[in-house]
Structure 1
Amino acid sequence: MLTQMIIRKLFNLRNANKRNNLKLSQRCFSSHLPELTKNRYSVKRGNYAVLTEDHKQFFIDLLGSTRVITNPDECLSYNVDWIKNVRGYSTCILKPKTTEEVSNILAFCNDNRIAVCPQGGNTGLVGGSVPVFDEVVLSTSLMNKIYSINDTSGVLVCQSGCILENIDNALEEHGLMAPLDLGAKGSCHIGGNVSTNAGGLRLLRYGNLHGSVLGLEVVKADGEVIDLLSTLKKDNTGFHLKHLFIGSEGTLGIVTKVALQCPPKPRAVNLAFLGLQSFEHILRTLKRAKQELAEILSSCEMIDASTLDVCTDNLKLKSPLSQYPFYMLIETHGSNNEHDQEKLNKFLEDAIAEEYILDGTTTNEINKMKHIWDLRERITEGYTKDGYVFKYDVSLPIEKFYSIVPAMREKLANEDTVRISGYGHLGDGNIHFQVSAREFSQQLLKKIEPYVYEYTSDLRGSISAEHGIGFRKPKYIHYSKSSGSIKIMKQLKTMFDPYGILNPYKVLP
């Protein structure tokens, strides 16, 4: 019982910290706004209707005046992404509470050719959740009901606007946990997670949402409600249509309800923070961790020295280790703390004896684990203090996981940058790679893109590992998908959304 209380306190502390960090960022968003997306990226507006007072009156009659936001100051936060990469100029934010209201909104917008931008917690990093022009924003923030939690099957059913942290807190009372964990947990919505196929810190252990989502309810562009809300682990009847909407970023339909398979909450959590000399030693440590920690290994993260500096220098966080070229975080989830500690200690002893690891610290104490995870989870926040961040999320073969960083440092050797570094989910090959500069520069952008995607393609990697395609990557999707695949995706888009009103300018070129 005591161990369970300690773990519960740890998760609550970490979640509160994530929520507070993101809210702080959101409060500061209005300063130094980015230029309009249409100007920065030279985008042409689609042939959509311009919103009229009659249109707005329809929305007010449907939702009531308090759930239709038209005040420019209040609209601003819905028009800008939190890392200030993109900005639209929507003048109408809609806040439905039910599937029926979403259906009526989309049917009306489809009939009147009004473009719609679905938006959850607006924590995305590729511009997928904010308008490019003046699209109506459909916010799911009030669609936040949890309908059921089944203790036996571990299945939760909820509306798409439920905040991931709130889901996790509700599951905790049933001895369960959400199958994904993100730095934006205190603000992101489960519908947005599903729509971008979010991965997070523990995909190595619990898999991605294609495996965890059992069923969905989705509203098509014409207002038709598609009921795919199965709660069965095995439902092998015909096409698995739910998978079309997982990762489609609101371009085929708007997710309104989710049925989620949730694992038991671990009774024992242990964390190691390690210092290493080279990426080769990181690979050896990863291989050994998979072999020796096996069933209890929940997370394996890598951070290079320059990335850690954004937390220690920019955010004034303290590292428990001295300076090393590379760092790893290895976390275990299990049911017997004595057993898990013994396995973790034996693994570390062997790795240190073979000089893979130079230094390290292990802990299962609440505050120490929270502090170490801060060094990983607050990296994006720390980067924003450098200036402008060119941020990339790609999958590469494990052996080449870090190779993109030195390659980009060489290519940008003569450019005015603050830092070039990488970190990420080593266990599943997903590296987060950044170039920070004092301000946005078209010259620097052209040096980075499309090179970063050409490099990824040459290694047969993916140009998007977990953040989606959004607005920033559609013209580069061909680096990861064949022309035949893109053709089929366009045909599906036309079938589900013939007038293209759902999240235009996103995902597909």
Structure 2
Amino acid sequence: MFSKLKGRICVNATRYVKQRYLHAGPQFTKDSYEVQRGPYRSLNEGHLNYFRDLLGETNLIQDLSDLEKYNVDFYKHLRGKSNLVLRPRTTTEVSKILSFCNANLLAVCTQGGHTGVCGGATPIFDEIILSTELMNKIVHLDEISGVLTCGAGCVLQNLNDYLSEFDLMMPIDLGAKGSCHIGGNVATNAGGIRLIRYGNLHGNVLGLEVVKANGEVLDCLNTLKKDNTGFHLKNTFIGSEGCLGFITKVAIQCAPKPKSIQLAFLGAQNFDKILMAFRKAKHDLGEIVSAIEVMDHKTMEMVEQHTPMSSPIGHYPFYLIIETSGSDEVHDQEKLGRYFEGCMAKHFILNGVTVSSPSQREKLWHIREKIAESFYKDGYVLMYDVTLPLEHYYDIVAEMENYLGNRSHRVFGFGHLGDGNLHLQISLKEFSQEMINYIEPYLYKRVKELKGSISAEHGIGFLKKQYLPMVQSNVNVALMRDMKKLLDPNCILNPYKVI
């Protein structure tokens, strides 16, 4: 904070920072969404003194300009008013913080790398932000079993870099891997591009250490692949979005690093042809398939418009990216080559390229990874993460484009075709709550009618909370509420989120 010794200059500077903080970026979420604050106490000097004594001054963040990145979500759609970020290093510190907050009725916003898209890690009012960013130590690696135990604040890319030295890799790969935390990945049950090969986190997370809302430490940090001694309590917290407990450590089954990686970048005439190529890939490539991604021509147009990247094969209505991972490069190249030739012969694809060198693969993957970066330059992009049966996968994109007409700037779709996860994006020239209210009830109703899911891999968070009763039965929602009351009776953990 600014020192009083600096007199008028200090006052003016403080006023300037406050004005800049209050007017930059999105509106406060509480105002734009008309949210009513819960019955929580406000932070006072006594509370601050307790946290200073526990963590030290350097692990408390209070300066308004420093708070900005914690208060505004990754895509700059939401904005909270938190006045304090706490950065514990140990489970004991987390336990003492939550015990104190629970006793004093102080609301807490749990936060990892803050890369989510549903507002699950962004405060709504003045919740204390409890960050995992200093809980970034690797605890242990069993090189024989491939089980890694680490702090919840470890960045996904850093874990991959560490494991690479032991010929291992994380079973999850996300576009935000350079900043997302493994604890947040687990809390949202993140999917990513290689779920078709390695499965979701419920199957890969072997154990968790979790601190309950009252400060009790739940030790489920098992490292065994098979353990059926009672209820699988760890699964309660995978995908719970920080509403039931604060994850402090993770034990995860890592995968062997493949010796051979091949990539195909293909162009197709329509989505029916994409589905034919997809089905053939599953049959022809089988056990070596590790990722199958799809994007439409509007996605490619946006990337080319806003980044230096461009299609390596020219322009087509649809693009398919297929990655294989195996142990024999000659064998894998031959399989992918036969698949490519077969698709061309059957006219499933119109053109394509296959590559195997790391630099060539990285260049092609960059096209896919640059999509999110392009959002920032394409107006105000509404991001919808849904799962649909494959026969309806792209229908919803065309339907929404027709439904919106000239109200939108761009409607486009891309995603993880291998598991039916579509990222439907609607680009507007500027934020409009009226447009959101026009889009979302219709979209989610259609997704339900098509027997899909309104959240594939990003959770419910704040933005989808009101639609949960639309897609879950009253009995299911009631059970979720009962679990919340049992584990967090004062509702201090991530209020205003999920339920």
Letter in 1 for 2:248: T
Does the 8 Å CA contact 1:460/1:480 hold for their aligned counterparts? no
Residue matched to 1:15: none
1:76 matched to 2:68? The reply is: yes
Residue matched to 1:254: 246
1:124 matched to 2:116? The reply is: yes
423, 427, 438: which one pairs with 1:447? 438
The CA deviation string for residues 197-218 of structure 1, in whole angstroms up to 9 with x for no partner, is: 0000100000000000000000
Residue matched to 2:307: 315
Cα deviation for residue 72 of structure 1 reads: 1.0
Take 1:414 and 1:156, find their aligned partners in 2: how far apart are those partners? 50
Does the 8 Å CA contact 1:463/1:479 hold for their aligned counterparts? no
Which is further off, 84-93 or 32-41? 32-41
Take 1:476 and 1:64, find their aligned partners in 2: how far apart are those partners? 41
Letter in 1 for 2:254: C
Residue matched to 1:483: 474
Take 1:370 and 1:266, find their aligned partners in 2: how far apart are those partners? 16
Does the 8 Å CA contact 1:301/1:426 hold for their aligned counterparts? yes
Counterparts in 2 of 1:312 and 1:32: CA distance versus 1, 3 Å: farther
Which sections of structure 2, spanning at least 5 residues, go unmatched? Answer: 1-20
Take 1:309 and 1:129, find their aligned partners in 2: how far apart are those partners? 31
Residue matched to 1:16: none
1:430 matched to 2:432? The reply is: no
Residue matched to 2:255: 263
Take 2:410 and 2:188, find their aligned partners in 1: how far apart are those partners? 28
Residue matched to 1:341: 333
How many residue pairs match? The answer is: 479
Cα deviation for residue 188 of structure 1 reads: 0.4
Take 1:39 and 1:219, find their aligned partners in 2: how far apart are those partners? 32
104, 108, 111: which one pairs with 1:112? 104
1:171-250 maps to which residues of 2 (within 5 A)?
171-250=163-242
Take 1:97 and 1:31, find their aligned partners in 2: how far apart are those partners? 33
1:95 matched to 2:87? The reply is: yes
SS at 2:486's partner residue? helix
SS at 2:65's partner residue? helix
Counterparts in 2 of 1:306 and 1:97: CA distance versus 1, 3 Å: same
Letter in 1 for 2:332: D
Q: Which structure is larger by alpha-carbon Rg, 1 or 2?
A: 2
SS at 1:35's partner residue? coil
The CA deviation string for residues 295-347 of structure 1, in whole angstroms up to 9 with x for no partner, is: 10000000000011121111131210111000000000000010000000101
The CA deviation string for residues 449-475 of structure 1, in whole angstroms up to 9 with x for no partner, is: 111110110011111000111110011
Counterparts in 2 of 1:306 and 1:455: CA distance versus 1, 3 Å: same
Does the 8 Å CA contact 1:217/1:255 hold for their aligned counterparts? yes
Which sections of structure 1, spanning at least 5 residues, go unmatched? Answer: 1-28
1:464-483 maps to which residues of 2 (within 5 A)?
464-483=455-474
Take 1:169 and 1:260, find their aligned partners in 2: how far apart are those partners? 15
Letter in 1 for 2:186: V
Cα deviation for residue 377 of structure 1 reads: 1.1
Take 1:435 and 1:384, find their aligned partners in 2: how far apart are those partners? 13
420, 426, 435: which one pairs with 2:411? 420
- Identical residues among aligned pairs (%): 53
Cα deviation for residue 382 of structure 1 reads: 0.4
Residue matched to 2:7: none
Cα deviation for residue 124 of structure 1 reads: 0.5
Take 2:150 and 2:23, find their aligned partners in 1: how far apart are those partners? 35
1:15-94 maps to which residues of 2 (within 5 A)?
32-94=24-86
Letter in 1 for 2:429: R
The CA deviation string for residues 173-217 of structure 1, in whole angstroms up to 9 with x for no partner, is: 111100000011010000000000000010000000000000000
Take 2:302 and 2:247, find their aligned partners in 1: how far apart are those partners? 36
Take 2:169 and 2:471, find their aligned partners in 1: how far apart are those partners? 33
SS at 1:222's partner residue? coil
Which is further off, 155-164 or 312-321? 312-321
SS at 1:281's partner residue? helix
Residue matched to 2:11: none
Take 2:306 and 2:352, find their aligned partners in 1: how far apart are those partners? 23
Letter in 1 for 2:304: T
Take 1:319 and 1:30, find their aligned partners in 2: how far apart are those partners? 41
The CA deviation string for residues 73-119 of structure 1, in whole angstroms up to 9 with x for no partner, is: 11111000121010001000000000000000000000000000011
1:332 matched to 2:313? The reply is: no
The CA deviation string for residues 341-393 of structure 1, in whole angstroms up to 9 with x for no partner, is: 00001011111101000000010122221111111112111022111111100
Take 1:30 and 1:283, find their aligned partners in 2: how far apart are those partners? 48
Cα deviation for residue 30 of structure 1 reads: 10
The CA deviation string for residues 234-267 of structure 1, in whole angstroms up to 9 with x for no partner, is: 0011111111100000000000000000010000
| RMSD across aligned positions (CA) | 1.1
Does the 8 Å CA contact 1:30/1:77 hold for their aligned counterparts? no
Does the 8 Å CA contact 2:300/2:310 hold for their aligned counterparts? no
Take 1:32 and 1:371, find their aligned partners in 2: how far apart are those partners? 35
Take 2:308 and 2:297, find their aligned partners in 1: how far apart are those partners? 15
Cα deviation for residue 31 of structure 1 reads: 9.3
Residue matched to 2:287: 295
Does the 8 Å CA contact 1:419/1:436 hold for their aligned counterparts? yes
Residue matched to 2:398: 406
Take 2:231 and 2:268, find their aligned partners in 1: how far apart are those partners? 47
Residue matched to 2:273: 281
Residue matched to 1:460: 451
Does the 8 Å CA contact 1:144/1:161 hold for their aligned counterparts? yes
Which is further off, 70-79 or 486-495? 70-79
Take 1:232 and 1:438, find their aligned partners in 2: how far apart are those partners? 51
Take 1:214 and 1:31, find their aligned partners in 2: how far apart are those partners? 45
Take 2:465 and 2:99, find their aligned partners in 1: how far apart are those partners? 26
1:499 matched to 2:490? The reply is: yes
Take 2:484 and 2:262, find their aligned partners in 1: how far apart are those partners? 45
SS at 2:203's partner residue? helix
Letter in 2 for 1:211: G
Take 2:81 and 2:24, find their aligned partners in 1: how far apart are those partners? 16
Letter in 1 for 2:250: V
